[in-house]
Amino acid sequence: MNTSQSALRAQSRLASLADAVHLPCGAQLPNRLAKAAMSELLADPDNRATQAHATLYDAWAQSGPGMMLTGNVQVDRQHLEHPGNVALSGPQPAEHLAQLRAWSSAAKRYGGQIWMQLSHAGRQTSPRVNRTPKAPSNVPLKMGSLRFEPPEPLTGAEVRDLIAKFAEAAATARTTGFDGVQLHAAHGYLFSQFLSPRANLRGDEWGGNLEGRARFLLQTIHAVRQRVGADYPISVKLNSSDFLRGGFDFDDCQAVVAWLDEASVDLIEISGGTYEQPRMLNIAGFETVVDPVTSPTGASKEAYFAKFAPLVRQRLRRAKLMVTGGFRSAEAMVDAVANGVDVVGLGKPLCLAPTAPAALLSGTAVDLRQPKGSARLGPGILGPQSPIRMVRAINALGGSSWYNLQILRLAAGQSPDPRAGFLPSFMKAQKREQAMAQALRR
């Protein structure tokens, strides 16, 4: 094959990314690229959306991803992962509904969709927000000297109340122009805590075997479906595994995927990891990583959860499959599609290259590898794969701050700054979080 033939072949393979995706509820995504959920940390002291959300999503929308997920919007103001989270606790005042509408319309201006991710931080609640968080059981996070408060168990009545709160928030998302909702059941947040046999030691109907541990998630889906109607997309972000000994594992994931499929979920997004084991950032935590599946495909080294797709696919009868985590080349994305992935999620790359979807959709190969120097503490022993646990933790926390700084720049109408320093960004983010926590109006 000569050079122009292989270029043409590569371009036609890339064309699969521009295919529309038909969801079981009847909605349709214009293409297979999605902006993954990334906490914007842009809310005001009442945890309401601001003009900055609209500016940010306008910037991302211009390059045409078929769908954008918001960062986690919390359903309980006492359980934020950061004081800058948007929260929808109960019915919202007219001014907030107007801000939410401004956000969704900016995001939809160029023909793509915006879905709202709904969450509750549980025991991963920021201690700056709440020193007595609630969770399934009184099991603290094991994160060395990085302190999170030990949680108190939710009562059965509180669990039921939360189900109603998720349903109410989903209804608000629909009435304010968001095209779908996603329940965040990955990364160690509340649904993920309920699913985990390590974090959920309950003996009542919300705990016990996997069926009991999944009940909170499944009943919430049922309640959300009743509020939003049959024609509205519902997604769930789920861990392939927590990658922790005795935690939620890939067998559990496959069983839950089948239940989600039956429960009218339209799109299941596969991720992995928790604060204790941040595999979603490709970093090992304080414990040994327990990885259940060795890679069957070449591309999965880059897209680290894509290897789960073929087995997850087998459990699906109607829902579509999205995978997020580590996609950096067009090649890995088209390989994933060929292996049964319907939607490819992109997170960090869109903080530095917000126009990448336009290039991908026009058939141009892109290299979304991140600048190595700046988004980490240092190379080798100081890097994300350091043998020193605390160094890995600093890389995980500081790396997120570094990417959030890029989000803040986009939201202020500025260009990303790939040369921003790691430690200055980390310190700035810490100060900002503290100031935002102090400013919260209760």
| Residue 9: count of CB within 10 angstroms of its CB | 11
Q: Which are the contacts of 348, defined by CB distance < 8 A and separation ≥ 6?
A: 38, 370, 375, 403
Q: In this chain, which of 39, 104, 113, 124 binds ligand FMN, going by CB under 6 A? A: 39
Q: Is 117 in the site for ligand FMN (CB under 6 A)?
A: yes
Size of the site for ligand FMN (CB under 6 A): 24
Of 197-205, 215-223, 240-248, 318-326, the segment contacting ligand FMN by CB under 6 A is 318-326
Q: Is 273 in the site for ligand FMN (CB under 6 A)?
A: no
Minimum CB distance to ligand FMN, residue 3 (Å): 31
Strands 21-22 and 28-29: antiparallel
Asked if 266 and 21 touch (Cβ cutoff 8 Å), the reply is no
Q: Is 38 in the site for ligand FMN (CB under 6 A)?
A: yes
Q: In this chain, which of 63, 126, 271, 339 binds ligand FMN, going by CB under 6 A? A: 271
Spatial CA neighbour of 277 closest among 305, 322, 245, 299: 245
Q: Is 184 in the site for ligand FMN (CB under 6 A)?
A: yes
Asked if 321 and 303 touch (Cβ cutoff 8 Å), the reply is no
Spatial CA neighbour of 338 closest among 379, 278, 298: 298
Of 32-40, 52-60, 172-180, 424-432, the segment contacting ligand FMN by CB under 6 A is 32-40
> 3-state class of 122 per DSSP?
helix
Of 48-56, 139-147, 347-355, 429-437, the segment contacting ligand FMN by CB under 6 A is 347-355
Q: Is 370 in the site for ligand FMN (CB under 6 A)?
A: no
Q: Which is nearer to ligand FMN, 37 or 190 (CB)?
A: 37
10 Å CB burial of residue 228 (0-12, 13-18, 19+) is buried
Question: What's the CA gap between 426 and 429, in Å, rounded?
Answer: 5
Q: Is 36 in the site for ligand FMN (CB under 6 A)?
A: yes
Q: Which is nearer to ligand FMN, 280 or 391 (CB)?
A: 280
Minimum CB distance to ligand FMN, residue 76 (Å): 15
Q: In this chain, which of 129, 299, 330, 346 binds ligand FMN, going by CB under 6 A? A: 346
Q: In this chain, which of 17, 21, 27, 37 binds ligand FMN, going by CB under 6 A? A: 37
Question: What's the CA gap between 212 and 239, in Å, rounded?
Answer: 17
Residues 42-101 that bind ligand FMN (CB under 6 A): 71-72
Residue with tokens 């022993």: 381
Q: Is 324 in the site for ligand FMN (CB under 6 A)?
A: yes
Residues 373-412 that bind ligand FMN (CB under 6 A): 400, 403-404
> 3-state class of 309 per DSSP?
helix
Question: What's the CA gap between 187 and 337, in Å, rounded?
Answer: 24
Q: Which is nearer to ligand FMN, 34 or 228 (CB)?
A: 34
Please give the residue whose beta carbon sits closest to ligand FMN in the complex.
347
Helices 389-411/51-61 angle, 10° precision: 90
By the criterion CB under 6 A, which residues form the site for ligand FMN?
36-39, 71-72, 117, 184, 186-187, 237, 271, 280, 324-327, 346-349, 400, 403-404
